[in-house]
Amino acid sequence: MPRVAFDDLPPAVRQAVTIQTGRITTTRTVGGGINSAVAALLDTETGIVFVKGIPADHPQVASQKREIAISPYLPAACPRLLWHVEAGGWVLLGYEAVDGRHADYTNNDDLTLVLAALVELQEVSAPGDVHLKTAVERWGKYAKEGQAELFAGEALLHTDFAPDNVLIDSGRARLIDWAWPTRGAAWIDPFMLALRIMEAGATAAQAVSWAQRVPSWHESDPKALGAFAAAVTELWREIAAEDPAPWKVSMADHAARLKTYVFVTRWAF
């Protein structure tokens, strides 16, 4: 999504933000992420704020609103949502600013911090008063008949551990970009992290060796894990077929290799 500088937003939008923050002295557009048209750090009289947002008529505005709804339930590893506004045809979210860098999944120290944040998240159940898509709904159409229910559970899942969605800050990992919060089996998140570790260059065995450090992985039903690996592979195969961008084709390949590894070794878990 093309980036729009905060200073180029309509006056009504900037005024709505100023009401929340007080006087804004400087603004800086930041890189990373693909799902926000606005991503900026604002220096204000109440402190530094990170602002992200998209046009109110954009198809992804629903994901922004999911992010707003889930924010009160997130663990301390996640930056706090301070406010949100809808004005001038835009939806903007203001977050606690984190002075960090994106995670490096080739770095063992970073991975250790990411796992700690994930273990903290796994203590959180999906809230009953927020409508979330379930894992059965998200991946069920790609599963074999009768297997989708194996993905069910009550854990609050992040599901997208792309390095852009994890910040390393002062010796801890911070999970950001909650566009796809999901209700499902807790072991799904370690699986999705393993897939991103492979994207960074690890083998399936190396990626799983990290995922296995999360307790829910060992509590998973091997049949459920295998069914999910197959469903994720089908999903990425479809994504790559519809848009053969190199990174999508690579993710489809990683998913297939992870599925093969899980099918060969799952009974040893």
- pLDDT at residue number 17: 97
Find out whether 184 and 155 touch, Cβ atoms under 8 Å: yes
Instruction: Measure Cα distances from 136 to 7, 18, 57, 145, 197 in Å.
Output: 42, 41, 28, 12, 24
1-51 pLDDT per residue, tens: 678 999 999 999 999 999 999 999 999 998 765 678 899 999 999 899 999
> What value does the mean pLDDT take over residues 166-177?
93
Q: What does pTM read for this prediction?
A: 0.91
> What value does the mean pLDDT take over residues 40-67?
92
pLDDT at 268 over 70: no
> What value does the mean pLDDT take over residues 96-104?
92
120-154 pLDDT per residue, tens: 999 999 999 999 999 999 999 999 999 999 999 99
- pLDDT at residue number 83: 96
